[in-house]
């Protein structure tokens, strides 16, 4: 079902390549968007692009998500800007260097902060608002990396896996208030985050990911793998017995 022109959409981490692609689709349908980001210039560039593409209104707010007090304020501002929200997409994240996380407590904790705790801090006031309004959709980008811990990125995987479990509980709670919680699990997507990785056939474009994210939100899916082919891949990876899995170099 295409979103109608009155749809009110919050995007946290709106300068993310995947989030910006998703927001473009909402803009083309004339939605009203509230965007947050920590880089003012890039945030304004995304906002301008969405205005040109047909958004009915675009508001912006600066937010570094590690500032929890500010997060709470901005979530309230986003809720008030259009007198409520229909969709909240939470997209920010960083891909930490696993070796550095193993060597430094600070790096490991930072990775958990940005990829997990910051989102819990955002979702706590937001979930209460949606619950009281008795409708709407909260969509959060986690990762296939959260499905199983691997030696090459288990700190990031732990953050995304923890987030996945948090969203599962939130979905169960908010279901009874008519609110949908969508867990989005991308595999490899060609964005600035993965610029340092060697690209292979499993990489998807940010545009494709954006389309799939939009579709998953509009269909009010519980969990969506982005693109879809990660669903069977991760089913196999999850099914491998631990006694076998621990021997692999992944």
The residues of the shown chain that bind ligand NAP, judged by CB under 6 A, are 13, 15-18, 37-39, 42, 64-66, 91-94, 114, 141, 143, 186, 188-189, 191-194
Interatomic CA distance for residues 27 and 23, integer angstroms: 6
User: Exposed e or buried b for every residue in 211-236, given b needs 16+ CB within 10 A?
Assistant: bbbbebbbeebebbbbbeebeeebee
Nearer to ligand NAP, 30 or 221 (CB): 221
Residue with tokens 């904790």: 109
Least Å from the CB of residue 176 to ligand NAP: 27
User: Helix 40-52 and helix 17-28: axis angle, to 10°?
Assistant: 30
Task: Note the Cα 6 to chain centre separation in Å.
Answer: 22
Q: The tokens of 83 are what?
A: 């007198």
In terms of Cβ atoms closer than 10 Å to its own Cβ (0-12, 13-18, 19+), residue 246 is exposed
| Cis preceding-peptide flag for 227 (omega within 30 of 0) | yes
Residue with tokens 């989030």: 19
> So which residues are the catalytic ones?
156
């Amino acid at each position: 079902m295409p979103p109608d022109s009155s749809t009110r959409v919050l995007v946290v981490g709106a300068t993310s390549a995947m989030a910006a692609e998703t927001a473009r689709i909402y803009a083309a349908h004339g939605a009203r968007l509230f965007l947050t980001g920590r880089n003012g210039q890039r945030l304004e560039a995304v906002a301008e692009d969405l205005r040109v593409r047909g958004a009915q209104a675009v508001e912006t707010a600066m937010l570094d998500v590690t500032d929890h007090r500010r997060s709470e304020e901005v979530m309230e501002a986003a809720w008030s800007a259009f007198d409520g929200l229909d969709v909240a997409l939470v997209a920010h994240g960083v891909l930490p260097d696993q070796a550095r996380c193993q060597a430094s407590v600070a790096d490991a904790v930072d990775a958990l902060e940005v990829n997990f705790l910051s989102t819990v801090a955002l979702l706590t006031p937001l979930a209460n608002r949606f619950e009281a309004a008795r409708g709407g959709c909260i969509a959060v980008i986690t990762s296939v990396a959260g499905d199983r811990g691997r030696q090459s990125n288990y700190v990031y995987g732990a953050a995304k896996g923890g987030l996945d479990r948090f969203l599962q509980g939130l979905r169960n709670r908010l279901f009874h208030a008519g609110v949908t919680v969508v867990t989005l699990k991308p595999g490899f997507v060609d964005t600035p985050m993965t610029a340092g990785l060697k690209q292979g056939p499993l990489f998807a474009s940010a545009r494709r990911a954006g389309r799939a994210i939009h579709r998953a939100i509009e269909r009010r899916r519980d969990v969506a793998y982005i693109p879809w082919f990660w669903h069977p891949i991760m089913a196999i990876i999850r099914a491998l017995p631990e006694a076998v899995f621990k021997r692999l170099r992944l």
